[in-house]
Structure 1
């Protein structure tokens, strides 16, 4: 390969890898906002690292984690938000839990996936 071709190929690969991770589009942002709103409006409690928090405190915590991911282009879909922010502690690795009145306690990842399905109309 000629030097000029090698430089061009490297440039194309750099662009391709940079575009592989991007900020969320409008639809994904609406879904993530909807997930945060569903949590904030729920009467559920949210457990992280063995301590229970009300829905408002949990939403605030997840918003901070999401903002961190946004600055690094690491949450461009609702699924990635659930996986990287709403499922487990970044510090301890322990799964988050959700407890809602009248329902069995469950992993937060499952709860958020159910909320996402509702948002998408897949009841």
Structure 2
């Protein structure tokens, strides 16, 4: 994909019209994101970004940095699904999808893994 198209799509997906509004992440959403990232850390799964594998703790740190960056741009994630889409699914630089690998299982896209974990968290409430 040409670089100008990637930049355009990144800006388009992060624009207010895509459902991201100005202001900090609401506390209930932030708490749900923190719980979701806690599941990454506790899972002992590996997290792949840009062809390099990282621990769950490293993934958590990276994804929190991405969330902070989004918030510093005066934008808010209003739903945890937006966090998964805008911060936790793929690299902002390369466009490569993040993946999660647990044990000897096949790697899966982080979007699918995180969405499943989010559903599990919500079902436990």
- Name the CA distance, whole Å, in 1 between partners of 2:70 and 2:37: 15
- Name the CA distance, whole Å, in 1 between partners of 2:27 and 2:59: 24
- Name the CA distance, whole Å, in 2 between partners of 1:27 and 1:78: 9
- Name the CA distance, whole Å, in 2 between partners of 1:69 and 1:50: 23
Match of 1:32 in 2: 33
* 8 Å CA contact 2:25, 2:76 repeated in 1: no
Match of 2:103 in 1: 101
Residue 75 of structure 1 aligns to a residue whose secondary structure is coil
C-alpha deviation, 1:28, in angstroms: 1.2
Q: Normalising by the residue count of structure 2, what TM-score does the alignment of the two structures yield?
A: 0.76
* 8 Å CA contact 1:74, 1:80 repeated in 2: no
Q: For residues 9-88 of structure 1, what are the structure 2 equivalents within 5 Å?
A: 21=21, 22-72=23-73, 73-88=75-90
Match of 1:11 in 2: none
Q: Which structure 2 segments of 5+ residues have no match?
A: 1-16
- Name the CA distance, whole Å, in 1 between partners of 2:121 and 2:24: 20
Residue 47 of structure 2 aligns to a residue whose secondary structure is strand
C-alpha deviation, 1:41, in angstroms: 1.2
Residue 98 of structure 1 aligns to a residue whose secondary structure is strand
Cα deviation 1:52-88 (Å, max 9, x = unaligned)? 1111111111110011112221422101100011000
Residue 90 of structure 1 aligns to a residue whose secondary structure is coil
- Name the CA distance, whole Å, in 1 between partners of 2:49 and 2:67: 16
- The alignment's C-alpha RMSD in Å is 1.8
Aligned residues: 104
